[in-house]
Amino acid sequence: MLEGSILQKLTTAHHPKQTKLRPLSLGVYYKNTLVALCHALEDFILDCKSQPLVVTAFQRGKWYIQEADRYAEIADKAQQVVIMACPDAGFAEHPTGARLNVDLILLDPNDPVAEEWHLIVFGPTYTAMVLCQELSDADYGPSGPPTEDLQRKFYGFWTFEASLVREVVELAIAHVGQYNPSLQSKLTEQMQSILALRETTPQEPLGEVVSKVVNYLEQQHEDLGVKPGDTYLDDNLLSNELQAFLRMAQMIDLLSPENPRAPSEVSALAEMLGQLLDLPGWQLKRLRLAGLLHRLGPMQGAGSIFGPTKPISTEYPSCPLTCALEPGAQALRTMPRLRAVAQIMTHQTEYWNGTGGPAGLAADDIPLESRILGLATYFQGLAGCLEAPKDPDRQEAWVISLQDALSICQQESGDRWDPKLVELLTLLVSGMCQGMSLSIQAPKFTNGLWLLDALPTESDPLPKLFSELVEVGYGN
């Protein structure tokens, strides 16, 4: 990582030995993935209801020239646009650069930021960021840099998280100050104004941004000429589609400070129940992913964004039922590999006695994974925390909370919950009270692709696992 680069400064600030800030988890992106991500995040600037501050780093000036007309439209919407790039293509003469709210920073070729690719959007209602730097020749290894532009690799992450975006904006403004102190003062004032507005202004629906990200990533297979044999390019795109949904779930979790560990704990509990039922590995992974995303199920306002969905029974025989009543689950169905997960989430609110929803299914007609997820989610919400406290004085109260939550689930056994699953939960809680611990880990979005193992079909009853882990994104 280049010393003095914005990415290096942020990573240092989040080093676990130097700060209490959450450490970063960085991944590798191919250029085609970054193009899709940036275009999607940029396009939403045109749709958002406020005027954001936009700071970009384009490496070479020639990359900016390709986007100059596009940035003219962004400048019409943004409060201020700052573009950093090396002056090697005469881009200062382009009409976009002459706009009053557009400032061009001509980077010294030896400036480490000249090797970075950034898109930083910070506004009253919308924040997003891509923060990367290109791998060096040495990083590529013995084979050297790729000969095809699409296969160039970058190291970093992307996120919607406002606190991280704010950190990077401030680092970028400080870097701009080395070239233009008066612009630094102007940007600092604009940031203060935006921060004041953010305290009272509702945020944009994140589902709309995610829909753009997923659609752009899917289009890259055709628009950028990705061939079926380009496994790494395909996997990189696919993984980031999953990252988009995981990031949306993360933002929902950040807005729920009373139960921030719910996704990790629900995921771990559901997986453990599945293990007690001796479910196959591919099904456990599907359960684990459904647990991480379970809060998207009742997400409001996504149905009209992602459009109508079709039944999935012909594509995934193992999941014969579906309905289009849960907008958050409909959003997931835009990715074929997540349709089975959407199925699980859609029916997590069914009741064993048939009085639940959305389809009024009863008993074994409710998909098993949905029954598991529903019970795990309910129990975790009652208990509040499934991880034993380190303080011995708090352990007795924690055990009581588990037993009280279990008692409520037992009272609803046979009505709301599958009696067999409640028996397994009773066994599991007994073990937890005696010192057994669940494998609870906060989701690291950089290694989520392994959760997307192919689902079994009639022609291929055994799941086909991905041969390699493709790491991309930001996790905690």
210 in the same domain as 191: no
Structural domains in the chain (count): 2
Q: Given 203, 234, 256, which residue is the final one in a domain?
A: 203
222 in the same domain as 192: no
- Cα–Cα nearest to 285, from 463, 411, 457: 463
Lowest-pLDDT choice from 103-112, 137-146, 467-476: 467-476
> pTM (2 decimals)?
0.73
458 in the same domain as 377: yes
232 in the same domain as 116: no
384 in the same domain as 270: yes
314 in the same domain as 251: yes
Tokens representing residue 283 in the block: 């099904």
Burial class (CB in 10 A: 0-12, 13-18, 19+), 119: buried
Residue 1 within any structural domain of the chain? no
Residue 35 has pLDDT above 70, yes or no: yes
| Main-chain dihedrals φ then ψ at residue 120, nearest 5 degrees | -125, 120
Burial class (CB in 10 A: 0-12, 13-18, 19+), 189: exposed
Residue 297 within any structural domain of the chain? yes
Q: What is the mean pLDDT of the chain?
A: 78
Rounded to whole angstroms, the Cα distance separating 27 from 159 reads: 12
Mean pLDDT of 22-26: 76
Q: Given 187, 203, 219, which residue is the final one in a domain?
A: 203
Q: What is the pLDDT of residues 408-438, one digit of tens each?
A: 999 999 999 999 999 999 999 999 998 888 8
CATH at residue 256 = 1.10.3210.10
Supply the pLDDT for residue 474: 27
Q: Given 203, 223, 256, which residue is the final one in a domain?
A: 203
CATH at residue 31 = 3.30.870.10
Share of residues in the chain with pLDDT > 90 (%): 32
Highest mean pLDDT among 225-234, 299-308, 314-323, 462-471: 225-234
91 and 66 in contact (C-beta within 8 Å)? Answer: no
Residue 227 within any structural domain of the chain? yes
Highest mean pLDDT among 159-168, 261-270, 330-339: 159-168
Rounded to whole angstroms, the Cα distance separating 204 from 47 reads: 10
Lowest-pLDDT choice from 43-52, 79-88, 230-239, 359-368: 230-239
Q: Rounded to 5 degrees, what angle do the CA atoms 449, 217, 49 make?
A: 115
Mean pLDDT of 90-110: 82
Mean pLDDT of 49-59: 90
Supply the pLDDT for residue 461: 32
Supply the pLDDT for residue 244: 73
Supply the pLDDT for residue 273: 94
142 in the same domain as 216: no
Supply the pLDDT for residue 334: 66
232 in the same domain as 144: no
Residue 121 within any structural domain of the chain? yes
Phi-psi region of 360 (alpha: psi -120 to 50; beta: other; left: phi over 0): left
Identify the domain containing residue 89 by its residue range: 6-203
Amino acid at site 295: R
Tell me the three state secondary structure of residue 131. Answer: strand
